[in-house]
A and B are shown apart, each in its own frame.
Chain A
Amino acid sequence: MTSRAERIDRLAELVAARREDGAGRGVWREAFTRMRRDPMAITGAAVVGVFLLVAVLGELIAPYSPTAQTWGTEVFPNRNVFVGPRAENWLGLDNLGRDQFSRMVIGARQTLLVGVVAAGLGFTAGALLGGVSGAAHTLGGRAGRRIDTVLMRLTDMMLALPTLLLAVSIAALLGQGLTTVMIAVGAAQIPIFARLLRGAMIAQGGRDYVLAARALGARRRRIALAHILPNSMGPVLVQLTLSLATAIIDAAALSYLGLGNPDPSVPEWGTMLADAQRFLGGAPQLAVFPALAIIVTALGFTLMGEAMRESLDPRLRK
């Protein structure tokens, strides 16, 4: 039997050990710890995880080939007879007699790829533009502010065009195709990232720790890259997750408008949605399932982004 003193000592040890555990944790690690306990973040991550898994595994999950038809035996589009969900075809057959579930599974890869590449493209170009602009504004003196003004008027012009209109113009310029969709959707995201990063950098540039780094004798490059930039990335990374959602929707919209991948053998949610509208009356399930998939994926990314934003909010930090 342990004495009372021993038990207290043990407790003190435990408390001390716990404090040591928490010591030396940076902003991101703290945010990650908070996110792990946030149901919103878990839901978002689970949804995104499932869709990513489906996109990666693809053929392993799909029960049929996305192009195999049961044309002539079961589906007669000219008579508007459709096969709805049933045991062999979970989501039914489309107007050409192809398995809808298999097409959705294979289509996930296309849609997610376009979304991720487009958002990544917009993020990279936008962060570069905004980073140069923000650094020039905060550390470049009068000449720097002038560079910043010119760059920001350019992004303002891009920002003034509605996202989809900008994407459509670019798609019209470059012609139909998958690359076009990625570039068009990515380009539409550039001004958002640029503005956001620049704003965050200017806000951080006025903080005392930047002044302290200058007083210490740090070079401007170091101040920009080691101090201002890392502290400005929070809102930009949140925007990246949110942008993944909008990029997926935009990509689907472009495909829907007929500017996406012209190859009919490669299924894509946006194209499927577009094709389904002709049969909306007779077979609404053909439109409902791709639409649901787009919405749920976008929602998953949005939830993750919102949770990240909340966990990075300095007002919630102790």
Chain B
Amino acid sequence: MSLLEIEDLEVHFPIRRGVLLERTVGRVRAVDGVSLSVAAGTTYGLVGESGCGKTTLGRAVLRLVDVTAGQVRLGGVDLAGLPAEELRRSRRRVQMVFQDPLGSLDPRQNVESLLLEGLEVHGLGADRAARRAAVVDALEAVGLSASALPRYPHEFSGGQRQRIGIARALVLSPELIVCDEPVSALDVSIQAQVLNLLEELQRERGLAYLVIAHDLAVVRHVSDTVGVMYLGGLVEEAPGDGLYAEPLHPYTRSLISAVPVPDPAVEDGRRRILLQGDLPSPADPPPGCRFHTRCPWRQEELCATVRPELRQVAEGHKVACHHAERIAAGEIAPDTAERPRRAGP
């Protein structure tokens, strides 16, 4: 049994109209039927473009958003069905690191107060001295010293702030940390430091991560398993390198083809897959395969009518595409006819 098991998770946001008498006039299907699992001590990387529902999924894992349907099981316990007080107590087992390091730290709390808060709300630590020791321990684990304790978030650099955010999560000794775009707000030189810190902490403490990012390189660097999301659904899942070596879903192919190769000879000869059109609205997703409106390999049968299940096609490699094998074998040619308005360079 994995540490975290998500099963058929749906998170829909109702679109409400009216002032006193609210009516629901529609729903945004932010997460629409996702299943995945994260084993203890491993990292699951979730990639996808803006608005694909990956952040909502991360928040649903901590039940910071209401779950519409499905289960989020942590160590076998379904968080989605827990009563409020039990849910609150279970939160020490899963923590979160946010994208915006400054925004996620209360500007009026100094570091000591920020790090103590988790211990206080869960009644952890025998006395003040024990709590303080735990706080200093967490702070040192992320590479900051006790001299940071009386300082306020605005006095630190971006990388240091993110370390404080990580320390805040660590204080509670969680089993899983959801990292929502942990480095996208940081300078490239700092990104590597923070990612290495996360890996180091994982080795030392056996943490599991659910890393959410839009940067394929970041996810590749840290993940044991990578999942690709498109419009509320998981379209492909594979062991980290497997996905990059042999992407099977047309969407994954187009994503990976967009990553520049640091070799001019290869880069020049490489064919990029340019997607047509925009991301459809999650309030009104297309029928059938969610990706069929933009897919260069779109076929007459199935694509527009039947939503493909995520199915295993190789060891640990799952894909949600009706024609994945035929595309991989080169039996279907992509429709690369240049459309007049969106002609590539």
A88 to chain B, nearest CB (A): 56
The answer to whether the Cβ of B103 comes within 8 Å of any Cβ in the partner chain is yes
Establish whether residues A216 and B106, one from each chain, have CB atoms under 8 Å apart when the complex forms.
no
Pick the contact of A24 from B88, B118, B151 — CB < 8 Å?
B151
Within 8 A of B (CB), among A182-217: 207-209, 211-217
Tell me which of B20, B100, B104, B107 contacts A27 (CB under 8 A): B107
Cβ of A226 to closest chain B Cβ, rounded Å: 8
Interface string of B139-169 (1 = CB under 8 A from A): 0000000000011101100000000010010
Q: A162 at the A/B interface (Cβ < 8 Å)? A: no
Q: Name the distance in Å between A167's Cβ and chain B's nearest Cβ.
A: 29
How near does chain A come to B93, taking the closest CB pair, in angstroms? 10
Q: Are A218 and B152 in contact (CB under 8 A)?
A: no
A23 on the B face (CB < 8 A):
yes
Q: Which residues of A contact B122 (CB under 8 A)?
A: 217
B298 within 8 A of A: no
Q: A18 interface residue, CB < 8 Å from B?
A: no
Judged by a CB distance under 8 angstroms, whether B95 is at the interface is: yes
In the complex, which residues 81-100 of chain B have their Cβ closer than 8 Å to any Cβ of chain A?
88-89, 91-92, 95-96, 98-100
Partner among A146, A149, A217 whose Cβ is within 8 Å of the Cβ of B88: A217
Contact A211 B98 (CB under 8 A): yes
Q: Which one of A142, A212, A231 lies within 8 Å of B108 (CB-CB)?
A: A231
B49 contacts chain A at the CB level, 8 A cutoff: no
Task: Assess the A23–B117 pair: CB atoms within 8 A.
Answer: no
Contact assessment for B110 and A213 in the assembled complex, using a CB-CB cutoff below 8 Å: no
Given A25-B152, A317-B154, the answer on whether A216 and B107 have CB atoms closer than 8 Å is: no
Contact A149 B117, beta carbon cutoff 8 Å: no
Residues of A within 8 A of B172 (CB): 216-217
- Closest chain-B Cβ to A127's Cβ sits at a distance in Å of 17
Chain B residues numbered 107-132 whose CB sits less than 8 Å from any CB in chain A:
107-108, 110, 117-118, 121-122
Residue with the greatest number of chain B CB neighbours at <10 A, chosen from A211, A213, A217: A217
Closest partner residue, chain A, to B96 (CB atom): A215
A318 within 8 Å of B (CB atoms)? yes
| Docked-complex contact A149 and B108, CB < 8 angstroms | no
Interface residue? B105 (CB, 8 A): yes
Any B CB within 8 A of the CB of A34? no
Interface class of chain B by DSSP:
loop
Nearest Cβ on chain A to B319's Cβ, whole angstroms:
32
- Pick from A26, A149, A216, A230 the residue with the most CB of B within 10 Å: A216
Q: How far is the CA of A231 from the CA of B107 in the complex (A)?
A: 8
Determine the distance from Cα of A28 to Cα of B100 in the docked complex, in whole angstroms: 23
Contact across chains for B118 and A230 when beta carbons are under 8 A apart: no
**Contacts A146-B20, A209-B103 given: A24-B152 contact, CB under 8 Å?**
yes
Q: A26-B108, A217-B91 are in contact. Are A149 and B19 (CB under 8 A)?
A: yes
> Using Cβ atoms and an 8 Å threshold, which residues of chain B touch A315?
none
Interface: B329 (CB within 8 A)? no
- Chain A residues with CB under 8 A of B103: 207-209
Q: Which residues of A contact B337 (CB under 8 A)?
A: none
Contacts of A37 in B (CB 8 A): none
Q: Report how far A212 CA is from B22 CA in the complex, Å.
A: 29
Whether A149 contacts B20 by the Cβ 8 Å rule is yes
Mark interface residues in A141-161 (1 if CB within 8 Å of B CB, else 0).
Answer: 010001001100000000000
A146 cross-chain contacts in B, Cβ below 8 A = 20
Q: Which residues of A contact B96 (CB under 8 A)?
A: 211-212, 215
- Report A317 CB to chain B, min CB distance, Å: 7
- Evaluate whether A216 and B151 lie within 8 angstroms (CB atoms) in the complex, with A149-B20, A209-B106 already known: no
- Chain A residue contacts of B165, Cβ below 8 A: 212
Q: Are A214 and B150 in contact (CB under 8 A)?
A: no
Chain B residues with CB under 8 A of A25: 152
Q: Known contacts being A27-B108, A231-B107, is A216 close to B91, with CB within 8 Å?
A: yes
Residue among B59, B88, B105 with most chain A CB within 10 A: B88
Note all chain B residues with C-beta closer than 8 A to A230: 108
The verdict on B64 contacting chain A, using a C-beta distance below 8 Å, is yes
A216 and B152 within 8 A (CB): no
Give the residue among B20, B92, B106, B117 with the most A Cβ atoms within 10 A. B106
From A29, which residue of chain B is reached at the shortest CB distance? Answer: B152
Residues of B contacting A209 in the complex (Cβ-Cβ under 8 angstroms): 103-107
Residue interface bits B1-29, CB-to-A below 8 A is 1, else 0: 00000000000000000011010000000
On B, residues with C-beta under 8 Å from A are 19-20, 22, 59, 62, 64, 88-89, 91-92, 95-96, 98-100, 103-108, 110, 117-118, 121-122, 150-152, 154-155, 165, 168, 172
Knowing that A207-B103, A215-B95, A222-B121 are A-B contacts, what are 17 other residue pairs whose CB atoms are under 8 Å apart, sorted by A's residue number? Answer: A24-B110, A208-B99, A208-B100, A209-B105, A211-B59, A211-B104, A212-B96, A212-B98, A212-B106, A212-B168, A213-B117, A216-B91, A216-B121, A217-B91, A217-B92, A217-B118, A227-B106
Closest 10 CB pairs of A and B: A24-B150, A217-B91, A208-B104, A208-B103, A209-B106, A215-B96, A212-B104, A218-B121, A216-B118, A217-B88
Residues of A participating in the B interface, judged by any CB pair closer than 8 Å? 22-27, 142, 146, 149-150, 207-209, 211-219, 222, 227, 230-231, 317-318
15 interchain pairs, CB-CB under 8 A: A23-B151, A27-B152, A149-B19, A209-B106, A211-B64, A211-B104, A212-B96, A212-B98, A212-B104, A213-B117, A215-B95, A215-B96, A219-B88, A230-B108, A317-B154
